[in-house]
Amino acid sequence: MWHLASDTLAASDIDALADWLRTHPRLTQGEQVRAFERQWSSWLGSAESVMVSNGSTANFALLACTARRIGKRHPRVGVAAVTWSTNVTPALLMGWPVTVFDVDPRTLGVDAEQVCSAMRNGDLDILFVTHLLGLNALSPAIVETAAATGVALVEDCCEAHGARYGARRVGTVGLGSTFSFYFGHHMSTIEGGMICTDDPAFADDLRLMRAHGLARESHDFDALAAQHPEIDRRFLFVMPGLNFRSTELNAFLGKRQLAQLDERIGVRNRNMSTFLDRVRNSPVAGAIRTDYATEGMSSFALPLVSRDAATHRRVREIVDQLGVESRPVVAGNLAHQPMLAGYDVTVRPTPVADHVHTCGLYVGNGHHVGEPMVHQLVDGLVAGLAT
Ligand SMILES: Cc1ncc(COP(=O)(O)O)c(C=O)c1O
């Protein structure tokens, strides 16, 4: 069986973790988390990183702190129609107006024309871009229009560790960005997430948001305490915060996983390139989309977006018969998911997302997928679609 994902944690990682645990180290957030944050920042190219419990809490904290930064209690947030639920959920739960935009078929990221026109019309305060399936979703038009119109650009890189926008890694372009280290992502810390930014004051807000809003989490603790001499500085709450902390165990694993990340990204990208080249040069070239903007990618999965619904049904049967596990492209068009019902959501026309919703699926990519498997998949598709 070719699974959607396999664990990037090896027996050697678990053995190392067990050995370390036998030294009875501190287990709640501490030096391991700080060390992993430093290593992650240096790998990504961001000034600051804040480790949290997972990618969803990373998204929540990033959005909540972005709203504080721009001084809006109810900012209007733009998201792509094809993304993961928790890219959108924080804004819904905080009662903010959300606009859902169509996606570009080549990047599966937000449609530049639609979103730039909304930014120019003054319809958005925050644009939360998702780099879906490891494809860079940013373009100069999006980045420059956000800057010119004062829209806060933030990036969900939970599926795109190491992808690039030009020379920069995604996650270093907007005000802040998020990563997930859940099972099946480019690297895993069992559960885990990271929020990255170049702005030290913003990073400080993120650290407070992660830990109850307590001033002692701040790098400016003394200054904050001095502003509130009437309150015991050890329990001074300077902003509303929750508890999104990681344990030391996750960070211990994160440091080991990071050492293998570039090699794992290489495997994923080789598989994706082989897959697209083979399909492009096969008799099924017109039936399955291959024209993705792969420059700078850090492939998360192999997309199978078919020409039409009948081909899609057949493709699904073929992958099932081949023993290849598949699933919708992330969550399909979120605009069709019941989770949005009753919330303040505006949906722009989403023909591309609708097509991905009805004609798309993906199969797994990762170190568990070898190039011979990719060839067998394409051979199977060619044979199956010919009949
Ligand atoms: C694009 C995207 N954003 C956010 C998340 C949430 O990450 P987590 O599963 O760590 O909560 C995911 C998870 O798969 C994702 O794919």
Q: Is the CB of 86 under 6 A from ligand 1?
A: yes
Give the DSSP H or E segment for 303. Answer: strand 301-305
Tell me the β-bridge partners of 304: 361
Instruction: Please report the pLDDT score of residue 3 as a whole number.
Output: 97
Instruction: Please report the pLDDT score of residue 387 as a whole number.
Output: 80
Dist. CA 158 → ligand 1 center (Å):
5
Q: Is the CB of 274 under 6 A from ligand 1?
A: no
Dist. CA 301 → ligand 1 center (Å):
14
Dist. CA 324 → ligand 1 center (Å):
22
248-280 and 31-44 helices cross at what angle (nearest 10)?
30
The closest residue, in CA terms, to atom 7 on ligand 1 is 55
Q: How far apart are CA 227 and CA 304, in angstroms?
A: 57
The closest residue, in CA terms, to atom 10 on ligand 1 is 55
- Answer yes or no: are the C-beta atoms of 152 and 66 closer than 8 Å: yes
Task: Read off the pLDDT of residues 257-277 as tens digits, 9 standing for 90 and up.
Answer: 999 999 999 999 999 999 999
Average pLDDT over every residue of 299-326? 98
Dist. CA 22 → ligand 1 center (Å):
32
Query: Which residues have CB under 8 Å from 99's CB, separation 6+?
Result: 76, 77, 78, 79, 118, 123, 124, 345, 346, 347, 348
Q: Is the CB of 204 under 6 A from ligand 1?
A: no
Q: Is the CB of 155 under 6 A from ligand 1?
A: no
Model confidence at 81, pLDDT cuts 50, 70, 90, reads: very high
Q: Is the pLDDT of residue 73 over 90?
A: yes
Q: How far apart are CA 80 and CA 91, in angstroms?
A: 13
Task: Read off the pLDDT of residues 188-214 as tens digits, 9 standing for 90 and up.
Answer: 999 999 999 999 999 999 999 999 999
What residue ranges define each of the domains in the chain, with the CATH number in brackets? 11-256 (3.40.640.10), 261-386 (3.90.1150.10)
From the CA of 182, give the closest atom in ligand 1: 10
Task: Read off the pLDDT of residues 372-382 as tens digits, 9 standing for 90 and up.
Answer: 999 999 999 99
Q: Is the pLDDT of residue 315 over 90?
A: yes
- Of 182, 189, 195, best ligand 1 pocket probe by most atoms within 8 Å of the beta carbon: 182
From the CA of 130, give the closest atom in ligand 1: 1
Task: Read off the pLDDT of residues 350-380 as tens digits, 9 standing for 90 and up.
Answer: 999 999 999 999 999 999 999 999 999 999 9
Instruction: Please report the pLDDT score of residue 137 as a whole number.
Output: 98
Query: Which residues have CB under 8 Å from 113's CB, separation 6+?
Result: none
